Structure 1
Amino acid sequence: MEEESLGFIKVSPSSHARLNTPALVQMAALAILLIRGLDLLLLFNTLGVRGTGEFIHRSVQTWSLTLVFLSSLALVFIEVWCAFSLLKGSRRARWVYLLTRIVATGYLWAASLGYGYPELFSIAGESPREILRTLVLQKLPDMLVLLLLFVPASSRRFFRLQ
């Protein structure tokens, strides 16, 4: 197990896979970071400084709202961790990201049908079918990221080798 030197980077057999991350996995990791960053930016733009403060204040009024608020923050941090871990070839990160998308989509669907709160985490619609259609359209970027991680042979092979 020899180490090679590429300038200031030391390459060992264990770090070699990190240098050969498939482009599709790199795109998926970057997409996760950009989607979450854009989500937060749009949320802050929609609420403004005062609205953000009011949202946080409202979110700590009851235990259940606090749990939803902290869980949503935890999901964002977990997804960011997944993005960086995917670049290192972590199989677990791929499955954890899938799980976060299932949990977030399931909660958004339930909240939109009236089984959860706050209203910020729901989709307005006349019928469950219309809400489902809007939800699927909102989740298309996440579905594309999941396809990039699970479908192409190069992605599957990359995570199998790690």
Structure 2
Amino acid sequence: MGFFKKSASSHARLNVPALVQVAALAIIMIRGLDLLMIFSTLGVPGMREFIHRSVQTWNLTLVFLGSLVLVFVEIYCAFSLVKGRNWARWVYLLTQVIATGYLWAASLGYGYPELFSIAGESKREILRTLVMQKLPDMLVLLLLFIPPASRRFFRLQ
């Protein structure tokens, strides 16, 4: 019955601030909804076409695989945040910088705009759309870095 006994360290980890729990859940929900919306929009034939287009060249394949790795890293960070891993919020911040930077560059014509880009007539319109698209992730980052309870939680763990 030692399996059900809780150690002193497991009790300490149960005191996760609500803001950190909300942030971790939001990361999982945002990524899950992103995937669900892509599947819903494209359907099975569209997904097949998307994957087929994504693996036509080595560069496109690397971008496609990199985006999948980024999603899995973000989800892993969400689970690690609840455990009080300070590195997880920094890695999540890094994933957001990478994703935002790539979307911005691809939308301006660098990289592979046909795969990952934001449509717009001007840089200002593209930037506005990008900010609106990344707003949930920015709010999650604020929950992880700004409130004193969140900072204290990661400092104590």
TM-score normalised to structure 1 length = 0.92
Distance 1:81 1:64 in 2: 25
1:116 to 106, 111, 130: 111
2:87 maps to what in 1? 92
Counterpart amino acid of 1:122? Answer: S
Contact kept, 8 Å, 1:17 with 1:88, in 2: the verdict is no
State yes or no: 1:10 paired with 2:30: no
For residue 47 of structure 1, report the CA deviation from its aligned partner. 1.0
TM-score normalised to structure 2 length = 0.95
Structure 1 pair 9/147, CA: closer, same or farther in 2 (3 Å)?
Answer: farther
Question: What runs of 5+ residues in structure 2 fail to find an aligned partner?
Answer: none
2:102 maps to what in 1? 107
For residue 48 of structure 1, report the CA deviation from its aligned partner. 0.9
2:154 to 133, 142, 159: 159
Counterpart amino acid of 2:137? Answer: D
State yes or no: 1:38 paired with 2:33: yes
> Identity of aligned pairs, percent?
79
Q: Equivalent residues in 2 for 1:62-101 (5 A)?
A: 62-101=57-96
Counterpart amino acid of 2:118? Answer: I
For residue 39 of structure 1, report the CA deviation from its aligned partner. 0.3
2:54 to 55, 59, 66: 59
Q: Deviations over 1:33-85 (max 9, x none)?
A: 00000000111111110010111111111000000000000001001100000
For residue 17 of structure 1, report the CA deviation from its aligned partner. 2.8
For residue 16 of structure 1, report the CA deviation from its aligned partner. 2.6
Give the paired residue count. 156
SS at match of 1:121: coil
Counterpart amino acid of 1:62? Answer: T
Distance 1:76 1:86 in 2: 15
Distance 1:153 1:48 in 2: 44
Distance 1:34 1:17 in 2: 26
Contact kept, 8 Å, 1:17 with 1:89, in 2: the verdict is no
Counterpart amino acid of 1:56? Answer: I
User: Any runs of at least 4 consecutive aligned residues in structure 1 with deviations exceeding 6 A, and if so which?
Assistant: none
Normalized per residue, the structure richer in helix is 2
1:134 to 95, 116, 129: 129
1:20 maps to what in 2? 15
Two-structure CA RMSD over aligned residues (Å): 1.3
